[in-house]
């Protein structure tokens, strides 16, 4: 049976400290969420409480789900892998501590593409050995994308107003786009990565996924900030602001927006919706500048992948060494590879060729790595986003985030079409996706990309677009 939305976005409760942002008790969200999510498997684990809200921010009592590569003191953190099934070191990641201090209520962990999609070139988005296959709420036969699959699907289903995802390249923005929600990848260094299962210290970041830009901005305001254990965040306290207060529905007026025409491969249907939304930007007062040429995408992609391989081995080994050896027996990437090879539940659908490639490489002092990182950063940053924005005096770049969700069947010809994530991911710059319409009844998003520390501006431009278009439509949820 096809029903209406799962629940009102802001149901009223008695004596809430922030009546404009009133939420029912966490146990109601959880009981409702368990019922609705039974068919979609976006949540890998629900919190057993106790749930308390002692903060006084405007996200006090907001229920939030976390991707299951982010540590919490009260739940295991598995990254979807059976090798980490007992990984419960009893510590909150700094971003989680910030959420709790602000009064947010952590109600559970979301499923993800196992090891954040870095294990195999044949990996299936939204599948993990621990959580199974997360389904797209708009069409269960189509991908939820990844690797923050469960976070995107959960917000689309209305299980919580917001969730936290992580991104190395596209892992917040793609699942947000194909699940019809807002996703924001901040500037790398704005949000701490400590106690998050890593891939790449050059590109990894956590960020909010939400039903609205305002909710994403409110959550970002809380989780942003410096962390002595994460050297990349040294400037975060000085750079952060109240991102929700900075939102301006009129911010598109006079804004110069670069249209990344050099990005190819989108479906004709997505391209048509994109052109309609370019007109919506013009109608809101933006000045659009077509950009027919960008950096060398092939060279950039090759250099990026090499960097990810080297950093995966280094960073994952460091993370595993920080876990409790009585809980996590696999202490290195090499031991995880051996574990997977001996565990048929891990390799039932695909192998681990990327893990094996990473393991074969040397350390971060290898000249091959040093050159690859310099090349990727130069092409994405100095000769990519920075050059384009400086040459045309731009406020932001835009493109379709990707086309409609492809099928979950790896054997058919329906595959991903187009992607806007690489430049911002490699440069470490902010990238926001906002729902812009539908491609054959599947949601698609519009990407806003800016320069380093342009997070507030990008969120405000996306907010102005969201308010002008109101394109988001929740999925028709089949109630169990």
Q: Which pLDDT value is given to residue 98?
A: 97
Cβ atoms of 309 and 358 within 8 Å: the answer is yes
Secondary structure class of 445 (helix, strand, coil)? strand
Active-site choice (171, 202, 421, 447): 171
Question: Token match 């995408």: residue?
Answer: 297
Chain centroid to CA 42: 14
Q: Please give the pLDDT value at position 22.
A: 64
357 pLDDT exceeds 60? yes
Q: CA-to-CA distance for 433 and 451, rounded, in angstroms? A: 15
For residue 262, the tally of other CB atoms under 10 A from its CB is 14
3-class state of residue 128 by DSSP? strand
**pLDDT score for 21:** 56
Element (H, E) at 279: helix 268-283
Instruction: Give the pairing type, strands 105-110 and 63-67.
Output: parallel
> How many separate helices (H) and strands (E) can be counted in the chain?
14, 13
- Say which of 47, 67, 149, 395 is annotated catalytic: 67
Mean pLDDT calculated for residue range 8-26: 46
31 is catalytic: no
Q: What is the mean pLDDT of the chain?
A: 93
pLDDT higher than 70, residue 4 = no
Whole-number pLDDT of residue 73:
97
Tally of residues, the chain: 480
Average pLDDT for 149-178: 97
pLDDT at 8: 30
3-state helix, strand, coil in the chain (%, to 5): 35, 15, 50
In the chain, the percentage of residues whose pLDDT exceeds 70 is 95
**Cβ atoms within 10 Å, residue 475:** 21
Residue 171 annotated in active site: yes
Angle between helices 149-157 and 26-37 (to 10 degrees): 100
Give the active site residue among 147, 148, 267, 403: 147
Among candidates 198, 197, 218, which has minimal Cα distance to 209? 218
**In the structure encoding, which two tokens stand for residue 290, read together?**
């077509």
Does residue 24 or residue 277 have the better pLDDT?
Answer: 277
pLDDT in tens, 440-471: 999 999 999 999 999 999 999 999 999 999 99
- Report in angstroms the alpha-carbon separations of 277 from 7, 263, 266, 284, 398: 29, 17, 15, 10, 10
Place of tokens 């947010």: 104
Taking 70 as the threshold, does the pLDDT of residue 94 lie above it? yes
pLDDT at 3: 30
**pLDDT tens for each residue of 66-84:** 999 999 999 999 999 999 9
CA distances from residue 454 to 164, 260, 266, 394, 395 in whole angstroms, order as listed: 20, 18, 26, 12, 9
Per-residue pLDDT band for 415 (boundaries 50, 70, 90) equals confident
Q: Which two tokens stand for residue 244?
A: 């929700």
With 90 as the cut, is the pLDDT of residue 370 above it?
yes
Residue 479 pLDDT level (bands cut at 50, 70, 90): very low
Q: Give the mean pLDDT of 114-128.
A: 97
Cα distances (Å, whole numbers) of residue 19 to 15, 159, 244, 274, 341: 8, 20, 17, 37, 53
DSSP code, position 90: S
pTM greater than 0.85: yes
6 pLDDT above the threshold of 60: no
Query: For residue 333, which of 319, 316, 311, 350 has the smallest C-alpha distance?
Result: 316
Which of 91, 48, 20, 116 lies closest to 355 in space, CA to CA?
A: 116
Q: Does the structure show a pLDDT above 70 at 19?
A: no
CA distances from 399 to 13, 110, 138, 179, 406 (A): 40, 28, 22, 17, 19
pLDDT tens, residue by residue, 302-336: 999 999 999 999 999 999 999 999 999 999 999 99
Tell me how many degrees the CA angle 250-274-5 measures, rounded to the nearest 5. Answer: 75
* pLDDT exceeds 90 at position 2: no
What is d(CA 151, CA 64) in angstroms, rounded to the nearest whole number? 10
- Per residue in 217-234, pLDDT (tens digit) is 999 999 999 999 999 999
The confidence score (pLDDT) of residue 53 equals 75
pLDDT reading at 480 higher than 70: no
CA dist., res. 163 & res. 108, Å (int)? 10
DSSP letters, 169-215, are SSTTHHHHHHTTSEEEEPPTTSB--TTB--S-TTT-EEEEEESSHHH
**Residues 6 or more apart in contact with residue 276 via CB below 8 angstroms:** 437
Based on the residue annotation, tell me whether 251 is a catalytic residue of this protein: no
Q: How many other β-carbons are positioned within 10 Å of the β-carbon of residue 104?
A: 27
Helices (H), 39-125: 94-101
Is the pLDDT at 263 greater than 90? The verdict is yes
Cβ atoms within 10 Å of 363's Cβ, excluding its own: 9
Take residue 1 and report the two structure tokens written for it.
């049976």
């Amino acid at each position: 049976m096809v029903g209406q939305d799962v629940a009102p976005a802001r149901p009223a409760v008695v004596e809430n400290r922030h009546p404009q942002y009133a939420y029912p008790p966490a146990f109601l969200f959880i009981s409702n969420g368990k019922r609705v999510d039974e068919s979609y498997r976006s949540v890998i684990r629900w919190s057993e409480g106790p749930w308390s809200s002692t903060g006084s921010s405007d996200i006090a009592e907001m229920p939030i789900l976390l991707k299951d590569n982010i540590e919490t003191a009260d739940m295991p953190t598995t990254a979807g892998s059976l090798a980490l099934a007992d990984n419960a070191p009893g510590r909150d990641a700094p971003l989680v501590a910030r959420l709790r201090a602000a009064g947010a209520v952590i109600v559970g962990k979301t499923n993800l593409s196992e090891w954040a999609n870095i294990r195999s070139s044949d990996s299936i988005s939204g599948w993990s050995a621990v959580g199974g296959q997360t389904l797209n709420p708009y069409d269960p036969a189509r991908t939820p994308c990844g690797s923050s699959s469960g976070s995107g699907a959960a917000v689309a289903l209305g299980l919580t107003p917001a969730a936290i995802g992580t991104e190395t390249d596209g892992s917040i923005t793609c699942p947000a786009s194909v699940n019809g929600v807002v996703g924001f990848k901040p500037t790398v260094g704005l949000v701490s990565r400590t106690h998050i299962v890593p891939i790449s210290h050059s590109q990894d970041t956590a960020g909010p996924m939400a039903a609205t830009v305002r909710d994403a901005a409110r959550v970002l305001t809380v989780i942003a900030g410096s962390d002595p254990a994460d050297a990349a965040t040294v400037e975060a306290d000085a750079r952060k602001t109240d991102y929700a207060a900075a939102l301006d529905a009129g911010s598109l007026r006079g804004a110069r927006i670069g249209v990344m025409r050099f990005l190819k491969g989108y479906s004709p249907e997505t391209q048509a919706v994109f052109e309609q939304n370019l007109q919506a930007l013009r109608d809101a007062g933006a000045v659009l500048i077509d950009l027919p040429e960008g950096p060398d995408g092939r060279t950039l992609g090759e250099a990026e992948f090499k960097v990810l391989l080297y950093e995966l081995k280094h960073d994952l080994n460091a993370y595993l060494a920080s876990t409790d050896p009585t809980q996590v027996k696999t202490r290195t990437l090499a031991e995880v590879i051996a574990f997977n090879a001996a565990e048929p539940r891990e390799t039932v659908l695909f192998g681990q060729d990327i893990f094996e490639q990473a393991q074969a490489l040397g350390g971060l002092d290898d000249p091959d790595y040093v050159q690859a990182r310099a090349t990727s950063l130069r092409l994405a940053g100095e000769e990519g986003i920075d050059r384009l924005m400086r040459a045309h005096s731009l406020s932001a770049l835009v493109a379709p985030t990707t086309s409609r969700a492809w099928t979950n069947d790896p054997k058919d010809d329906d595959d991903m079409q187009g992607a806007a994530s690489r430049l911002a991911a490699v440069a470490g710059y902010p990238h926001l996706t906002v729902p812009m319409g539908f491609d054959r009844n599947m949601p698609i998003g519009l990407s806003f990309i800016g320069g380093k520390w342009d997070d507030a501006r990008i969120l405000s431009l996306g907010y102005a677009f969201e308010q002008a278009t109101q394109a988001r439509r929740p999925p028709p949820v089949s109630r169990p």
